[in-house]
Amino acid sequence: MQSDLSQPIQAMNVPVAQHQEVIDLRRRRRAGESLIHGFLFLSGVLSVFTTVGIVLVLLSQALAFFRRPEVSLFDFLTKTTWQPAIGEFGIFPLVNATLLTSFIAVIVALPLGLMIAIYLSEYASAPARRIIKPVLEMLAGVPTVVYGFFALTFVTAILRALLGSDRVEIFNVGSAGLVIGILILPLVASMSEDALHAVPGALREAAFGLGATRLETTLRIVLPAALSGISAAFIVAISRAVGETMIVAIAAGAGPRNFKSWADAVTGFKFLNPFTAAETMTGHMVRISGGDLSYDSIDYDSIFAIGLTLFVMTLALNIASRWAVRRFREEY
């Protein structure tokens, strides 16, 4: 940079140009500028390469997985057992556990988070909000491994004490799901609060001026006006829950909950049982890669096939979130 700046200073030592002398105003090639421009451009497109990299890596390894003689895409999608040791690769048990933990999390976190947001934005005093809001934001930054510890050492213990240790296994989907809910709670509350807070006060005044109570103002004017932001918060939270890894790796179980058949899965709603262990997609990926994974093993390829499934799911949620923001945006 220094050299660029010194240029005009040198120029000043040159005798002042005569009137007749032609000044060159043409575009000059500045080597430094171009170099910098190049670097900036590369940095900008690196993110595109990252995406391309992710997609290529997932696709190519997943393809390698499905090319293997013991695997078929059809079985992958329709079988109800994931047991690499005997060559059974049905994704259902893993996806089922992911959906189950996410569902429990969402049931806990969305209503609770939204109510907290409403309380903070519409009811709490300004000092209370000033304290609680940053605390929420900080809690949203607590590493997930800490929440995993909490799930295993506290929530599981409580569940077992309350419901009986014969019903609730040490590793179980329920406590992992609950704690994922707790993990995304600050996220939901904080993002929803932002959305509610952004609703102009004039709308609230108008409602109050018509004789509305605070509840009516909140639920029927402010909430609909903030729907765009709140729905985005919800979808981001769901996406976090689906992709959450450490909590389930620690607390949900160390093996897929397999079913002999679809009939077996649905009898007595076994696939929905929250008190037994099950391995989610992410949990399985972590456990399999935890050991020294050799590159040409089927296990190595399989985690990329699972990763691709997960990627597609979260990508769909991301796109849905952007759609929701646009769909529910109200101008005011």
Partner 1 sequence: MRDRVSQVPGYPDEKQFQGFIRRRRRRGAMWRTLFLIATSVGIVVLSALLLNILDDSFGYVAVKNEIEPAALLATYAPKRLPMERGGADYQILRELSRDVQVQILRDHLSQGLIRRLESEQPLDQRSQEELGDLIIERVVEPHFLASWSLFDSVFHRARIKAEVAEMDGASLRFYSWLNPKFVVSPQSSHPEFAGIRTAILGSLWVVAITILFSLPVGVAAAIYLEEYGQKGRLNDLIETNINNLAGVPSIIYGLLGLAIFVRALQPLTGGSLFGIGDATTNNGRTIISAGLTLGLLILPIIIINAREAIRAVPQGIRQASYGLGATRWQTVWHHVLPNAMPGILTGSILAISRAFGETAPLVVIGASAFIIRDPDGPFSKFTTMTIQIYQWTARPQAEFRHLAAAGIIVLLALLLGLNATAIWLRNRYQRSY
Partner 2 sequence: MPDILTLPRPSAPSISANGERYAITAENLNVYYGAFQAVRDINLKIERQKITALIGPSGCGKSTVLRSFNRMNDLIPVARTEGRVMFHGKNIYDADVDPVEVRRRVGMVFQKPNPFPKSIYENVAWGARINGYRGDLDALVEQSLRQAALWDEVKDKLHQSGYSLSGGQQQRLCIARAIAVQPEIILMDEPASALDPIATLRIEELMRELRKEYTIIVVTHNMQQAARVSDYTAFFTVDEHRTGYLAEYGPTTELFTNPRQKITEDYITGRFG
Applying CB under 8 A, the residues found at the interface with partner 2 are 125-126, 200, 202-213, 216, 220-221, 224-225, 330-332
If we measure between CA atoms, which residue out of 128, 77, 98 comes closest to residue 317? 98
- Residue 174, binding choice from partner 1, partner 2, none, Cβ under 5 to 8 Å by partner class: none
Task: Rank residues 58 and 71 by Cβ distance to partner 1 and give the closer one.
Answer: 58
Per-position DSSP letters for 51-87, written without gaps between them: HHHHHHHHHHHHHHHHHSTT--HHHHHH-S-EEGGGT
Rounded to the nearest whole angstrom, what is the least distance from the CB of residue 321 to partner 1 in the complex? 8
Distance CA 217, CA 214 (A): 5
Phi, psi of 88 (to 5 degrees): -100, 120
Distance CA 236, CA 314 (A): 9
- Residue 70, binding choice from partner 2, partner 1, none, Cβ under 5 to 8 Å by partner class: none
Task: Rank residues 80 and 102 by Cβ distance to partner 1 and give the closer one.
Answer: 102
- Name beta bridge partners: 82: 89
Task: Rank residues 80 and 218 by Cβ distance to partner 1 and give the closer one.
Answer: 218
Rounded to the nearest whole angstrom, what is the least distance from the CB of residue 215 to partner 2 in the complex? 10
Rounded to the nearest whole angstrom, what is the least distance from the CB of residue 247 to partner 1 in the complex? 10
316's CB contacts (< 8 A; 6+ apart) are none
- Residue 210, binding choice from partner 2, partner 1, none, Cβ under 5 to 8 Å by partner class: partner 2
- Residue 126, binding choice from partner 1, partner 2, none, Cβ under 5 to 8 Å by partner class: partner 2
- Residue 6, binding choice from partner 1, partner 2, none, Cβ under 5 to 8 Å by partner class: none
**Dihedral (C-alpha) 153, 157, 159, 163: value to the nearest 10 degrees?**
160
Task: Rank residues 221 and 265 by Cβ distance to partner 2 and give the closer one.
Answer: 221
Rounded to the nearest whole angstrom, what is the least distance from the CB of residue 159 to partner 2 in the complex? 42
- Residue 95, binding choice from partner 1, partner 2, none, Cβ under 5 to 8 Å by partner class: none
Task: Rank residues 132 and 227 by Cβ distance to partner 1 and give the closer one.
Answer: 132
Task: Rank residues 227 and 315 by Cβ distance to partner 1 and give the closer one.
Answer: 315
Do the beta carbons of residue 183 and residue 244 sit within 8 Å? Answer: yes
Task: Rank residues 272 and 316 by Cβ distance to partner 1 and give the closer one.
Answer: 316
How many Cβ atoms sit within 10 Å of the Cβ of residue 312? 11
Q: How many helices (H) and strands (E) does the chain have?
A: 16, 2
Phi, psi of 83 (to 5 degrees): -145, 85
Rounded to the nearest whole angstrom, what is the least distance from the CB of residue 261 to partner 1 in the complex? 30
Rounded to the nearest whole angstrom, what is the least distance from the CB of residue 266 to partner 1 in the complex? 28
AA identity, residue 253: G
- Residue 99, binding choice from partner 1, partner 2, none, Cβ under 5 to 8 Å by partner class: none
**Dihedral (C-alpha) 229, 233, 234, 236: value to the nearest 10 degrees?**
130
Rounded to the nearest whole angstrom, what is the least distance from the CB of residue 95 to partner 1 in the complex? 14
DSSP state of 252: T
Rounded to the nearest whole angstrom, what is the least distance from the CB of residue 268 to partner 1 in the complex? 30
Task: Rank residues 137 and 330 by Cβ distance to partner 2 and give the closer one.
Answer: 330
H helices within 268-328, ranges in order? Answer: 281-290, 298-328
- Residue 98, binding choice from partner 2, partner 1, none, Cβ under 5 to 8 Å by partner class: none
Distance CA 316, CA 230 (A): 18
